[in-house]
């Protein structure tokens, strides 16, 4: 990818990267860590734990099975300091979140507004937790999302961005926002293409009080590890070209490639909690 940031925006040319180690792909559930247009679906059996595939770097691969109490500290030990764990707690009971907090986890991701509000109220005794919204944004839910989440990973249109900026100003809030990008064909997911982002960038950066801090992407199902790594590297390069420090890339079944590409937020659900209960 070649990027050039200018006052008028960012010009970019995406060339899929070929730099990738031979890694066997392991498919992940489609709805674990981001806005997915297919809607909720059953959890994939591989969500029951962190499934390392053959050929992954020894520094990253973890054995199975691992429960939360083993997986969370082991992941922290193996990850670089720049890669933070975002525990995807959607569909998990409040008790599971309490267990994670007891292990030092403070950042959690939800995708259903009402479920998240109920959890936040039930966990109020734990003090301020770092709540991230990763679900598909709907116009009628924007105010609730702005009120209840400090970071939003799934903003994928100028229309929603303008609505969010207006509501945030009315609420006196300044949420951190990661723009969802789609750098490979995938009809099941939303997201701005690199070309759309280039065109809209001058208008997006002027939408105060939103704080644009990064990009989020989801690898399409069916990509092998080399293709996922190339995708994540393209996303990281695009973020760098825009001067955005955050890259929300990688879920339970593709986090090693995301770490290699420079992810700063790993959206991990099944790798930590096992199968969802809802």
pLDDT at position 60 is: 58
Q: How does pLDDT run across 119-178, given as a tens digit for each residue?
A: 999 999 999 999 999 999 999 999 999 999 999 999 999 999 999 999 999 999 999 999
pLDDT at position 188 is: 85
Report the share of the chain in percent with pLDDT over 90.
Answer: 72
Q: What's the CA gap between 169 and 117, in Å, rounded?
A: 21
Helix, strand, or coil (residue 182): coil
Work out how many domains the chain is built from and give that number. Answer: 1
Domain harbouring 194, CATH code? 3.20.20.10
Q: How far is CA 121 from CA 92, 109, 115, 227, in A?
A: 15, 15, 10, 41
Q: Is residue 264 part of a domain?
A: yes
Tell me the pLDDT of the chain averaged across its residues.
83
pLDDT at position 197 is: 97
Across residues 259-269, what is the average pLDDT?
97
Q: Is residue 63 part of a domain?
A: no
Out of 12-16, 58-62, 105-109, which region has the weakest mean confidence (pLDDT)? 12-16
Out of 14-23, 161-170, 227-236, which region has the weakest mean confidence (pLDDT)? 14-23
pLDDT at position 137 is: 95
DSSP 222-270: T--HHHHHHHHHHHHHHHHHHT--EEE---TTTHHHHHHHT-SEEEESH
Q: Is residue 55 part of a domain?
A: no
Q: Is residue 74 part of a domain?
A: no
Q: Is residue 241 part of a domain?
A: yes
| Residue tagged 């759309």 (tokens) | 196
Out of 36-50, 69-83, 135-149, 161-175, which region has the weakest mean confidence (pLDDT)? 36-50
Q: Is residue 42 part of a domain?
A: no
Q: Which of 23-37, 45-59, 199-213 tops mean pLDDT?
A: 199-213
Across residues 81-98, what is the average pLDDT?
97
pLDDT at position 145 is: 98
Q: Which of 15-19, 20-24, 215-219, 272-276 tops mean pLDDT?
A: 215-219
Q: What radius of gyration do the chain's Cα atoms show?
A: 18
pLDDT at position 218 is: 97
Q: Is residue 27 part of a domain?
A: no
Virtual torsion, Cα 207, 209, 210, 212, nearest 10 deg: 80
Task: Pick the more confident residue, 5 or 181.
Answer: 181
Q: Is residue 20 part of a domain?
A: no
Task: Provide the domain limits for residue 168.
Answer: 81-278
Give the predicted TM-score (pTM) of the model: 0.80
């Amino acid at each position: 990818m070649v990027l050039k940031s200018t006052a008028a925006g960012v010009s970019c040319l995406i060339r899929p990267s070929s730099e990738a180690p031979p890694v066997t792909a392991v498919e992940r559930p489609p709805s674990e860590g981001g806005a997915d247009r297919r809607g909720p679906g059953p959890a994939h059996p591989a969500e029951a734990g962190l499934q390392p595939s053959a050929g992954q770097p020894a520094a990253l691969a973890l054995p199975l099975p691992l429960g939360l109490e083993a997986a969370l500290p082991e992941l922290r030990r193996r990850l670089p300091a720049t890669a933070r764990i975002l525990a995807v707690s959607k569909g998990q009971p409040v008790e599971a979140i309490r267990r994670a907090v007891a292990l030092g986890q403070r950042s959690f991701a939800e995708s259903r507004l009402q479920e998240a509000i109920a959890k936040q109220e039930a966990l109020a005794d734990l003090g301020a937790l770092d709540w991230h919204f990763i679900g598909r944004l709907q116009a009628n839910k924007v105010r609730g999302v702005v009120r209840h989440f400090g970071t939003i990973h799934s903003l994928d249109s100028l229309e929603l961005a303008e609505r969010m900026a207006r509501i945030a100003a009315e609420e006196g809030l300044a949420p951190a926002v990661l723009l969802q990008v789609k750098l490979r064909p995938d009809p099941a997911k939303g997201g701005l293409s690199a070309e759309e982002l280039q065109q809209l960038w001058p208008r997006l950066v002027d939408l105060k009080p939103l704080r644009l801090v990064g990009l989020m992407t989801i690898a399409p199902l069916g990509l092998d590890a080399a293709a996922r790594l190339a995708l994540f590297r393209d996303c990281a390069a695009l973020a760098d070209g825009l001067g955005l420090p955050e890259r929300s890339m990688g879920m339970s079944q593709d986090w090693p490639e995301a770490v290699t590409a420079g992810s700063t937020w790993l959206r991990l659900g099944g790798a930590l909690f096992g199968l969802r209960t809802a």
